[in-house]
Structure 1
Amino acid sequence: MTDVKEVTPSQVAIPSADLRALLYRAAIFILSALLLFALLLRVMNYEMRKDEQLYVPPIALLDHHRLYEDFFYNHPPGSAWFFHWVGAIVGSDHLLFSGRLSVFLAWMLLLAAIGAITYALTRSGLVSWCVVVLTVANDLFLTQTGMAATNNFLPLPFAFIGLGLFVLAVRESHPKPFLFAIAGLCLSLAAAFKISAVAFIPPVAIAAFLLPRAYRFKDRLLRVVAPLAAGGLVGGIPILIPLLLAPQRFLAHVVQYHTGPHLQYWRTANTPGEEQALSLVAKLLLAQGMWFSATCAVVISVLVALFLTALQAPDGGGRARLSRIVNGPLLVVAGAFLCSAAMSLLPTPSFPQYFAPPLICLPLGLALLFGSLEPETRTRFQPVFVAATMVVLAIEAPRLAQYVGTAVRADRWTVTRVHEAGVAMSQRIAVARAQGKVATLSPIYPLEGHLEVYPELATGPFAYRTADFTEPALAAWYRMTSPGRITAIFEADPPAALLLGFDEVLERPMLDYARRNGYLPSTDLGFKDRYGSPVLYLKPSPQ
């Protein structure tokens, strides 16, 4: 009879350490892939916003027209050229798709930078992954700020890289000058996308004269300040070129428009559905909602817990390490947060997306504080990061998964539907044999259909709606028209069609012209957006 060998509990097969590590990595990889795919779907499906009527048209216009001279554009040139180059590289005639793809690429750059820099500061893959996910699940980034094809998100990766590389460099005993050069390059590039990104430059510039403390002042000038300034000069070329070639035109578009007619328009306009804040109190209330949302509150709680944990280190060394960080890198990050927060409150009016820049300081704060802990304390604190990440994911899961149902139906994506609307409109005009330009305050649609638009309306309603508040000397630098002068343009160059139905007040002179000249309305266009149901008025056939 064969003996039966008794199996003790200690002999029960359990996964080996290598197998557990493999399963852990596989779970992280799968969840990361799902989050990125959900992010891509959200970017491509997010409902089109009015601001995109300004930022997307240059993708097509820059093929044959000059920025600022041939059409109005009230921001630095970085976003216009970036969208245009991505569209050219991809080779797609889907304009909104090219713009949204550019934003998604900016997301990839930001997340990669956060992962790499936080890992360099913490040497923990798990914590770095958690910090990346906490950024992905930030509700401000998951709305217009990080979804629409505008310049709101584009500066953030470059500002983070510039700030992060500077922090990494000054922590080293012998920092490499090229790190400071790249930091300066990225900080200037951020400002080339959105002028408010200059807020990240002063704290870094000041710190360059003070850090690293082990250096003599002369060494800081040669090894820190000089490469930082050189990199900043190279990164500033996109702004310096138009500023030097036509300074008055550039300043009229980028600076004077916002401090003059734009401000006057919002002081008198009553625009429903816009979350603008005009007074300082209204701005502070809006900032409170953005900076202390549920997801941000979780991150801030982790920051506070890290700070208190570092202070309470049992060996007493935690306070010394924390003091070194607070008096150096963390102080730079805090300065960047305060400067960018103050800059967020300066524009009038303020909108929710203006309050995004300070949030890129949070990942660096988390990484620096975690890196100040003793190795054993870090291990004990890792579950706090995991718990915070799971809480934030649970909060934002409905938003992240909102468009998962469109995964296999690209024809339902917003970017696809907008392009098809433009093509359908082009076909409708071709059937009517109407010749001429298309008049509209929503130029993305005709441009998607390869139709010609009026240069004065090529970037949406922004110059048009502020024309009555623009001084003649300033208006001379803009390619624009006004509700009172638009009819004269139509009389000289009759439109083939007018696409209306998005703004009853601003479109009134166009509608009156269409009705007065017998344009034929067509309402069955098969598309609409959050601003209205469009009507295409076609030029009547000659008798």
Structure 2
Amino acid sequence: MHTPRDDAAPTMDAALQGQPFWRALGVGALAIAVLGLIGRLLSYPLNRDENMFVSVAQMLGSGDLYRDLGYNHLPNLPYLLGGIFAVTGSSGYLLTARLLVAAFWLLALFFLWRISRNEAAGLPAFLAAASVLVGSTLLLGEPGMLATNNLIPVALVFPAVFLLFRGLDEERPSAGYLLGAGLVASLAIGFKANYTFLAAFFVLAVLIAPKGATVGQKLLYGLLPLGIGGLLGGLPSLVHMLSDPDAFFAHTLRYFTELQTAYWAESEAPKTVSLKGKILLAQSIWFANTSLIALMLVVTQMALIASTDGLRALFDWKVTILGLAVISGLVVAFVPTPSFAQYFVPPLPFLVLLIPVLAGRLSGGARQFAGMLLAAGAALALVNAVPRLGAGLAAFASPSAWGTIADGRAIARAGSEAGLRPGDRVAALTPVWALDAGYSIYPEFAAGQFVYRVAPYIPPQDRPFYRTTSPASLTSFLDADPPAAVLVNRAEPMEADLAAYALSRGYRPAGPSGEDRPFDLYVAPR
């Protein structure tokens, strides 16, 4: 069990102690960076992945999550979003979903601060860890800026680890904290299955710490509440798995291992499928920008600990658990094929957590040197993100221009001028736009293009579990129940079929003309 050193906070803060200007500057710079992050998040353009989560969440109650709406992940996010939509009554679905992601960013930073405080890591360590997270070019891109299931499990890692540490910091495990740790970790897994490895390391942590507890105490006050919390957090997934296993596994496991693999094998879109390509992609993400700064801070602190207290000091259970989680995240990142940037996120939160955990184990001159190094790392991490965060700050000057607001309003205005009424059904493979404009959509397109594009590859035994159409049958499908309008995302080549259908059936172009508009709207002939 780690006990914070008596000299921890004063020594680690030596680089800033007694200099309130520099302390205020560090905290102020981080606060401005967080504000820039939120501005960037709320103004970031719509991405096709968001249709899967936002539209399905809005359509909850109109059909089964998997069989009717075509969702293909574990179910936590649509239920969370759908609940927020129902409670708030908001009609700006994309903006509401982005605000939820912003709340999870703040949650992550709050618990990172709590962990840094409990580990007596000092202000420089917290600022360095938080700046690495906020300034990450990876998370300032699509993985951290979209209303998808990529950022939320990352954010939940921090409260889960906080509860785990608090539950195991005493001589006997704390059942309450460990029940909470199991619950939050299980919720994270229910948002994204890539984080399943969390369960193994939380169990391992209970078994190896605290050293003063008996086996019976570890079972009764540790593993049992941890397991109960995990079971409670996993209920949404378990209910679907047990009540309709055929549809659940068809849309989750077999979708990714069979249908998506078949689709990408024939797709000419850019993709990374070979091991060599994955390694190069991983290198460009993990050994660049703030990820490289984090690695440098972690490795340097480990070297300082080993040089002052010996190598055995590095085998503290918290360092061991976080280190193994980083390694597991590295391995998990290589599993999906093809590879995309978001698959390389899992190691990052554990690498960030190692910064304050290691800082709390330094003493004397090594701790003072690390404090200066951490302060420098924090500054470099924020400087790295200035172009992106600066644009996010500038976005607050004109919120009406944000795509999360402007796109839906423009489509609603164009539709109204052409005679469409709120609630009219629109055929769209970018259904978020149609919903934000106040129109209804086909359940077959609730997941955007993600079921539509794999429809030709669905094997006969799985077809009963899918409610969809396909590129080959699109015309006959729409002819059987014609839409009031057709909405086309000009950035998506796959949606050219919708435009072709609209023009072939005499639908009238509506809305502004010009190359700069992101959409085409076609209204049914009078």
Shared fold (TM-score, shorter chain, > 0.5): yes
The answer for the alignment partner of 2:136 in structure 1 is 138
* 2:272 equivalent among 257, 269, 277: 277
Task: Give 2:395's aligned residue.
Answer: 406
Q: 2-side partners of 1:503 and 1:363: how far apart?
A: 35
The farther-off stretch of 490-499 and 21-30 is 21-30
Distance in 2 of aligned mates of 1:468 and 1:197 = 30
The one-character-per-residue Cα deviations of 1:143-165 (angstroms, maximum 9, x if unpaired) are 10110111111111222322343
Q: 1:172 to 1:19 in 2, by over 3 A?
A: closer
Cα RMSD (Å) of the superposition?
2.4
1:85 to 58, 83, 101: 83
The farther-off stretch of 504-513 and 177-186 is 504-513
Q: Is the contact between residue 168 and residue 174 of structure 2 (CA under 8 Å) also seen in structure 1?
A: no
Aligned to 1:439: 427
Q: Confirm or deny that 1:485 pairs with 2:483.
A: no
Q: Please give the per-residue CA displacement for 1:348-407, whole angstroms capped at 9, x wherever unaligned.
A: 111101111110011221122212112553233211110111111112111111132222
Tell me the amino acid that sits aligned with residue 232 of structure 2. V
Question: What code does the residue aligned with 2:195 have?
Answer: A
Deviates more, 1:63-72 or 1:134-143: 63-72
Gap regions ≥5 residues in structure 1: 1-17
> Which region of structure 1 is more displaced relative to structure 2, 263-272 or 185-194?
263-272
Q: Once the 2 structures are TM-superposed, how far is the Cα of residue 96 of structure 1 from its aligned partner?
A: 0.9
Structure 1 residues 202-254: Cα deviation after superposition (integer angstroms, max 9, x where no partner): 22223333332332322221221111111111111121121222121111112
Could you tell me how far 1:466 is from its partner in structure 2?
0.6
What residue in structure 1 maps to residue 520 of structure 2? 535
In structure 1, the partner of 2:412 is 423
Give 2:318's aligned residue.
329
Distance in 2 between residues matched to 1:184 and 1:151, nearest whole Å: 19
Match of 1:369 in 2: 358
Aligned to 2:216: 218
Tell me the equivalent position of 1:515: 503
- Give the match for residue 12 of structure 2: none
In structure 2, give the amino acid aligned to 1:479: R
The residue number in structure 2 matching 1:287 is 282
* Cα distance, 1:129 vs structure 2: 2.8
Q: How does 1:64-463 map to 2 (within 5 A)?
A: 64-272=62-270, 276-313=271-308, 318-319=309-310, 323-430=312-419, 437-463=425-451
Deviation at 1:468, TM superposition (A): 0.6
Q: In structure 2, how many angstroms separate the alpha carbons of the residues matched to 1:422 and 1:110?
A: 35
- Assess, with a 3 A threshold, how the Cα gap between structure 1 residues 447 and 354 changes in structure 2: closer, same or farther: same
Separation (CA, whole Å) in 2 of partners of 1:146 and 1:116: 22
8 Å Cα contact 2:129-2:353 kept in structure 1: no
**Deviation by residue 1:329-355 (Cα, 9 ceiling, x = unmatched):** 211111111222211111111110111
Which protein is bigger by CA-based radius of gyration? Answer: 1
The aligned amino acid for 1:438 is: V
Contact 1:496 1:538 in 2 (8 A): yes
Q: How far apart are residue 509 of structure 1 and its match? A: 4.1
Cα shift at 1:23: 4.2
Find the aligned partners of 2:126 and 2:413 in 1 and give their Cα distance.
47
Kept after mapping to 2: 8 A contact 1:438/1:499:
yes
Larger deviation: 72-81 or 412-421? Answer: 412-421
How many angstroms apart in 2 are the aligned matches of 1:356 and 1:254?
20
What is the rounded CA distance, in whole Å, between the counterparts of 1:505 and 1:384 in structure 2? Answer: 48
Report % sequence identity.
29
Describe the SS at the equivalent of 1:403.
Answer: helix
Greater mean deviation of Cα atoms: 124-133 or 347-356: 124-133
Q: Cα distance, 1:41 vs. partner?
A: 0.4
CA distance in 2 between counterparts of 1:469 and 1:462 reads: 12
Query: What one-letter code is carried by the residue in structure 2 that aligns with 1:55?
Result: F
Which 10-residue stretch deviates more, 201-210 or 360-369? 201-210
The TM-score with structure 1 as length reference comes to 0.88
More off after superposition, 379-388 vs 103-112: 379-388
Give the aligned length: 511
Higher mean alpha-carbon deviation, 228-237 vs 165-174, is at 165-174
Q: Alpha-carbon deviations, 1:482-504, whole Å to 9, x = none? A: 01112222121111111225367
Q: Secondary structure at the match of 2:268?
A: coil
Contact residue 499 and residue 536 of structure 1 kept, 8 A: yes
Within the candidate set 465, 468, 471, 2:456 is matched to: 468
Q: Which has the higher contact order (CA 8 A, sep 6+)?
A: 2
Q: Take 1:282 and 1:19, find their aligned partners in 2: how far apart are those partners?
A: 47
